[in-house]
Amino acid sequence: MVRPFRWDSERKVLQLLDQRRLPSEETWIECAEADQAGDAIREMAVRGAPAIGIVAAYAVVLGFARDAGNAPASRFEDLAAALLNTRPTAVNLGAAIARMRTRLESLVTDSAAERVRGLEAEADRIAAEDLEANRRLGTLGMGLLTGEGPARVLTHCNAGSLATSGYGTALGIVRALVESGREVEVFAPETRPYLQGARLTAWELMADGIPVTLVTDGMVGSLLAARDMDAVVVGADRIAANGDSANKIGTYQAAVLAKEHGVPFLVAAPFSSVDLETPTGAEIPIEERRPEEIVEIAGTRIAPEGVPVWNPAFDVTPARYITAIVTERGIAHPPFAASLARLGGTSGIT
């Protein structure tokens, strides 16, 4: 199980697996400054909503470990503003920043070293809690795939250990099934425009010895029609209070096709991805990225010069297409406004 980051407590350095270079090259980036970690988030060297939140938390630690020039409160707000602008769709980033703010405010000390230690301990907790949440939601989610024989699962983008502190959300359910002794076959669309299914999901599953078949995004309908699929399982960068879920572009069409073919559509995410302050998916900010990510592949242009490009990184799947939302706190079923609110008010399992 690959983890996408390593924190060096002694040197106060964050190391990030550069996911832009996978699968051909395993390269680690060293971030000694907060803005280096922010750039890694913006440029998608690290990606996945939970991982982005964790890296942002450690970026705050880097900011305090390297800069003693400003008052703590103003220093924090400068760091927070820069980090929150890196990628706007994932709610985990804001949630991690909010936790770091609360931790800073609780530290009654004039010692810069003690302040850094307190913030570092909070970032460590955020990372550890995410790993535990992934394992817990994986165990819960596998109970929704009750058929006999090998489980056939379609996913989208990468919601595995590379997108989290380890183990994964959608792929956490897959891993839990494998650990339970059930055979699993995963189908992974390439996931345009950044090919995270082809480059990351396929690489991650093959590294773990989990059978995976790569398909193009345009094959999803034919795949669901031709194969006896047990479920479509995806992650989420933000889940609105009514259950509308934002995930990598192409998820919405997979949900519509799953409903047409009678295949359960499951969203798997830590509860930190649930934004009860956002009423519906219409209010979720959708990041738009550079045209080069569509008109080029590995630096080689594949489209005519000057062609207009629309490149949203995410789409929103309406709640009516979602069978269940799996979190570490429990499984939410429709109507999601009620079930997510209940999970938001308790740490117990429903």
> Euclidean distance between the first and final Cα of the chain, in Å?
29
Is 237 among the catalytic positions? yes
Q: Which residues contact 122 (CB under 8 A, 6 or more apart)?
A: 57, 99, 100, 103
C-beta pairs of 255-261 under 8 Å, 24+ apart in sequence: 255/317, 255/318, 255/321, 255/322, 256/321, 257/220, 257/221, 257/224, 258/154, 258/224, 258/232, 258/321, 259/321, 260/221, 260/224, 261/224, 261/225, 261/229
* SS3 state of residue 350: coil
Spatial distance between the Cα atoms of 171 and 138, rounded to a whole number of angstroms:
8
Comparing C-alpha atoms, which of 273, 327, 339 is closest to residue 137?
Answer: 327
Instruction: From the candidates 18, 208, 217, 237, give the one annotated as an active-site residue.
Output: 237
Which residues are known to be catalytic?
237
